[in-house]
Structure 1
Amino acid sequence: MSPSFALLLPLLLPLIRAQVPHWGPCPEPSVQATFNIKQFMGRWFEVAKLPAQFEKGRCIETNFTMKADSTIRVVSSEILKGECRRIEGIGVTEDLKNPAKLGISYSYVLPYSPYWILATDYVNTALVYSCTDVLRLFHVDFAWILSRTRTLPGASVEEAKDVFVKNNIDVSRMVSSKQQGCDSTPWDRAL
């Protein structure tokens, strides 16, 4: 182990424990061909995900709105301990030749994180993947199954998982998101 890696390891351990780490660099999955960013805009509910340290609540959803400067306003929310928590970020198309590869940042001091749309029909489901290499030794990835409604039939979830698997993305630790009792909360009506 190199001395620099040994120094970085204590800083990386909390990140590694909370996520799903894998040896080697990030996979390069196929993304949605002929992706239409305007059709993707709007409200998406999280149906299933790989565990993520930054998502601890229930009723997780994200609303995407195109801004006049062609950036995307990204507002994510969840209910945690009975309170609505929201965070606002900016999304960009990082490569105009490949518009399904978005980048999202929730902080002006942090770089954009990959937010790749692997597949979507725009009206029912979207499959999103994000991955970060750590020194090219291992990677930490995230995967989400999103829906325009709070639930999807089990068969649709299994079909979505198959798309991830065909792209060499391990979803064996994917969990269902908690979307029960969300529409009765006051904050939901305010969105």
Structure 2
Amino acid sequence: MKAIIVLLLVPFVSAQTFHWGPCPSPMLQPDFELNRYIGKWYEIEKLPASFERGKCIEANYMLRPDKTIQVLNVQTYKGKVRTAEGTAVVRDIRYPAKLGVSFSYFTPYAPYWVLSTDYNSMALVYSCTDILRLFHVDYAWILSRTRTLPAETVYHAKEILSREKIDVSKMTPTDQQGCGVPV
């Protein structure tokens, strides 16, 4: 029965990165400070994600009065600027780097874990969802406060992800060229 369920689910994750077995448990950013993380981040590289196919991808985080975080993702796809607005929350105050994010009132919060950041130039973010503990779908992002990062910084970021048992072999660079005026 499990094999049939897996076969039925595979087409839904084909544009994602999936691996057999449960999600890894990577280390999180120690002493994460949300207020320092808030602001604009540009996507430098990522694992494939069906919802991110464009260029000039950026994420903007703003703290709301109710202590939730407004998430505004922006990308240019087929010549048009497209946005997605969501909400992020700190799900457990003991683990402030383990956020949940949702882009619809009807969907549960997906993991958004900040694994590493210096707050000023680079951040590593990871998300993973187990499917019946048989396999997992994961996402990883290398983010920057600027549209580019030096190659050695990207290399170091991938080393950190790899040490945490996150497969970076399918990571692809995000096109940040010709982006015009930032949103």
TM-score range normalised by the length of the shorter chain: over 0.9
Matching residue within 86, 89, 97 for 2:94 = 97
Provide the residue aligned with 1:15 in structure 2.
12
- 1:63-109 CA-to-partner distances (Å, cap 9, x unmatched) read 00001110000000100011000010000001100100000000000
Whose helix proportion is higher, 1 or 2? 1
Distance 1:155 1:8, change over 3 A: closer
What is the rounded CA distance, in whole Å, between the counterparts of 1:73 and 1:14 in structure 2?
31
Provide the residue aligned with 2:170 in structure 1.
173
Superposition deviation, residue 14 in structure 1: 2.5
**Where do 1:79-158 residues align within 5 Å?**
79-158=76-155
Distance 1:107 1:155, change over 3 A: same
How many matched pairs? 183
**Cα RMSD for the two superposed structures:** 1.1
Identity across aligned pairs (percent)?
51
The secondary structure found in structure 1 opposite 2:14 is helix
Matching residue within 26, 29, 35 for 1:29 = 26
- 1:125-144 CA-to-partner distances (Å, cap 9, x unmatched) read 00000001001000010000
Matching residue within 4, 7, 13 for 1:6 = 4
Superposition deviation, residue 5 in structure 1: 5.2
What is the rounded CA distance, in whole Å, between the counterparts of 2:12 and 2:62 in structure 1?
30
Runs (4 or more) in structure 1 with deviation over 6 Å come to none
Uncovered stretches (5+) of structure 1, i.e. residues with no partner: none
Please, what TM-score do these two structures have when normalized by structure 2? Answer: 0.97
Provide the residue aligned with 1:49 in structure 2.
46
